[in-house]
């Protein structure tokens, strides 16, 4: 790939998001402002998904509602939605999934 510049991840990202950034940005040479915004969005969503799943696992993946019925933990839908948004941002980046190291 020519002259690829590594761009540091934004300080707003957590551990998971920084990890995704560090894998994708240099591998795909994402340097344009639009691509960096999409990458930051994807990485922020990866953080949100990880945080929601961690909290849901701590509290139990299901809860009991006021009628005594078991229900999925509310954060599971947060995690699902964050993952969907992350994948949508990655699709917009048009990353080549067949490349070595692809996401």
Domain boundaries, the chain: 15-92
Q: What's the mean pLDDT in 29-50?
A: 97
Q: What is the pLDDT of residue 97?
A: 55
Q: What is the pLDDT of residue 95?
A: 82
Q: What is the pLDDT of residue 15?
A: 98
pTM: 0.86
Q: CA 40 to CA 57: how far, in whole Å?
A: 26
**Mean pLDDT of all residues belonging to the chain:** 91
> Cα dist. 48→14, 33, 101 in Å?
9, 22, 23
């Amino acid at each position: 790939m020519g002259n690829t510049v590594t761009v540091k991840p934004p300080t707003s990202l957590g551990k998971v998001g920084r990890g995704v950034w560090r894998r994708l940005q240099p591998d795909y040479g994402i340097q344009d402002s639009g691509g960096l915004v999409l990458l930051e969005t994807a990485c922020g969503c990866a953080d949100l998904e990880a945080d929601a799943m961690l909290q849901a696992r701590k509290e139990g993946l299901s809860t009991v509602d006021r009628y005594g019925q078991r229900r999925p933990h509310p954060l599971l839908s947060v995690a699902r939605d964050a993952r969907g948004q992350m994948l949508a941002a990655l699709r917009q980046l048009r990353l080549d999934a067949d490349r070595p190291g692809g996401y």
